Amino acid sequence: MHTSTLANPCLDELSRLQLERNALELEVCGYTVVEEAIDPDLTARGLEATLRTFAERRGKRPDVQTGEGYEGYWSSHYMLLKDPAFERILMAEKVLALIDYLVGEDCILSSTTGLIRGKGGGDTLPSGYLPLHGDDISPQPHPAFNNFASVNVFLTDMTEESGCLAFVPGSHKRLRQPTAQERVLAGEGANREAVPVVAPAGSAVVWPSHTWHGSWESPTAALRVTLALLFGRPHLQPFDLYRESVPDEVLERNSPRFATLMGMDTFYGWNDNRDDWMKQWRDRDRSRYAPRVV
Ligand SMILES: O=C(O)CCC(=O)C(=O)O
């Protein structure tokens, strides 16, 4: 007699990449750290591209050592198309296998955000710490399945001295946002359930977006730099408009899976182009929808 085996491509991929423990951590704790999610060369390229993008958009290049002009907390959206390094980071296979496990392999990329934490809170974050929150923007109580999954890729070391991330283990099971009191990360009323996440550059932390997380104030001038990725189920509206704007040449140099992440398998988005009503975005003439870049 033979015992039946369970066929599931997603679980097979997790086993192939030896991510079983990470999947278990996602279930039990609501977050997991993947070390060496991207290699040192890609980490360096991702860091350089992030610093360059901040320089272009803010008119001042961040200096990772001195942190001058980047006190507090800074974010910059719609990073993906700023450099091909971000395309490669997006496709990092261990992270993507865990994302598939959380929100399915038909998920779409909702946002790519560069994050810089400098010393203290500055004008950008007067509380110093980033209050605990969940990234799931669905109505509460949240559904018991995952609509969104979040990733932070560490482009510099994530240390306690750099104002590291804080997670509340098990909070993904509460299916709600923290209360005003539960959000607090410093002082007398600080939430004692929060634990630090530290890991070297090149690592990534992955979580179902229900999990409560934030970060502590940094006491040091040096900058910590991360790339935040948000993935969502394909019927949910993304933050970044990649579906309309990703250039054909970017789709051509990447895999079909990359195109799925860009929303090319979705149908939503009808207007007077009646010949597109039955077409997925990958089959449309997207130049008819491309936003005017100002
Ligand atoms: O960078 C941080 O301190 C927090 C990041 C975060 O909250 C997120 O990516 O959702």
How close is the Cα of 275 to the center of ligand 1, in Å? 41
Mean pLDDT of 126-141: 95
The confidence band for 122, taking pLDDT boundaries of 50, 70 and 90, is confident
Q: What residue owns the CA closest to ligand 1's atom 4?
A: 214
pLDDT of residue 5: 86
How close is the Cα of 265 to the center of ligand 1, in Å? 29
| Residue-wise pLDDT tens digits, 251-262 | 999 999 999 999
pLDDT of residue 167: 98
pLDDT of residue 289: 86
Task: Give Cβ neighbours of residue 9 (< 8 Å, ≥ 6 apart).
Answer: none
Q: Is the pLDDT of residue 287 over 70?
A: yes
Nearest to 99 by CA among 26, 175, 47, 165: 26
Tell me the H-state helices in the chain. Answer: 9-16, 20-28, 40-58, 84-90, 93-103, 242-245, 248-252, 256-261
Mean pLDDT of 95-116: 98
228 lines ligand 1 (CB under 6 A): yes
How close is the Cα of 229 to the center of ligand 1, in Å? 10
Using the atom order of ligand 1, give the atom closest to the CA of residue 228. 9
User: In this structure, what DSSP letter does residue 127 have?
Assistant: T
Per-domain residue ranges for the chain?
9-248
Mean pLDDT of 149-166: 98
224 lines ligand 1 (CB under 6 A): no
How close is the Cα of 214 to the center of ligand 1, in Å? 6
215 lines ligand 1 (CB under 6 A): yes
Q: Which fold has domain 9-248?
A: Jelly Rolls (2.60.120)
pLDDT of residue 6: 87
| Residue-wise pLDDT tens digits, 210-246 | 999 999 999 999 999 999 999 999 999 999 999 999 9
